[in-house]
Amino acid sequence: QSLLSFYAAFALIALGSSLGGFATVMVAIVNWFSRHRSKAVAFSQIGYALGGMAVPLVVLALEAFGWRTTAFYSGIVVILLGLPMAQAVRHRPQTYGDVPDGVLLAALSGAGDQALPDFTAKQAMATPAFWLISFGHAAALLTVSAVMVHLVPHLTEGLGFSLSQAALVITLVTGCQLIGQLCGGVLGDRLDKRLLCIICMIAHTVALLILAYANSSAEVVVFAVLHGLAWGVRGPLMVALRADYFGAASFGTIMGFSSLIVMLGMSLGPIVAGLFADYYGDYQVGLMVLAIAAFFGSFCFLAARRPVPHAVP
């Protein structure tokens, strides 16, 4: 009923989303999965995509019942579904006499990766790999965030697309991202994650260059497919690669410090693209700069060799 109560409610929602959001879920997955970690992360991220698909239903509810009623019953849904599901999540399998993937430790004794000790946050931050992965991830989200904010204006103002046509391109990007997540989960458990990250960043680079010089709908479609697939495949690998390199013991803290750099890139992306668009009058130069940033990210992942625990203070 007042601005103060609105701010208080919004702060409480933000706190709950932070404490029970992406980072918390990823820590639980890293603790419970090792050999199938990429697939587990990929499937969990599909939940975020499905949540986004519920937005039209929320809009319908807002139009039919108003925001107060919609907010109230959204809270009821969270209580009825969210709390029971959260109760089913356990922090570490070892606490309950289980092991990651449900596989006996004896069966994993031959795997050298499993025998390596986990890093503390301080040890991880002392390695070049921590910073290289962080800056590579930041470069990736710099390009993704800029594209998602400025793609529609570029298509409508620069290429003459209608709003409905631009919306179809966005849908194609997100659809390919969803497919890419599933592929990334499977490929990440079978192939070198670092190599896959390099390929994805190069794909981002090529896609952005195509969009920068696009003059036809076909070229925009090629961009949307390539960019969406690269985004989707890379997504689960960002979590799984860090967990493989640094272990699960301090993963939450390591991911938190790394996210400070990643969020900086994500925040700067739309600003950089917008500044270039304002200065040059179109998005071509800005897209080329984003392509360079993505290419820089590929070199970050190329240089991010797996650290050796005993060599770290």
Has this prediction a pTM greater than 0.85?
no
Whether 77 and 95 share a structural domain: yes
pLDDT at 310: 61
Q: What is the pLDDT of residue 295?
A: 97
Cα 238 from Cα 234, distance rounded (Å): 6
Q: Which of 108, 126, 159 lies at the terminal end of a domain, its last residue?
A: 108
Structural domain of 40 = 3-108
- Predicted confidence at residue 113, as pLDDT, reads 46
In terms of domains, do 130 and 184 share one? yes
In angstroms, the CA 151 to CA 170 distance is: 8
pLDDT score, position 58:
76
Chosen domain end from 108, 141, 170: 108
**pLDDT for res 111:** 45
Residue 9 domain-assigned (yes or no)? yes
Residues 69 and 123 in one domain: no
- pLDDT, residue 207, reads 96
Residues 70 and 197 in one domain: no
Residue ranges for the chain with pLDDT beneath 50 = 106-114
296 Cβ partners below 8 Å, 6+ apart?
A: 139
The number of beta carbons lying within 10 Å of the beta carbon of residue 16 is 12
Q: Is residue 313 part of a domain?
A: no
Helix residue ranges, H only, the chain: 3-19, 22-32, 37-53, 55-65, 67-77, 83-88, 112-115, 121-125, 128-153, 163-188, 193-212, 217-246, 251-280, 284-303
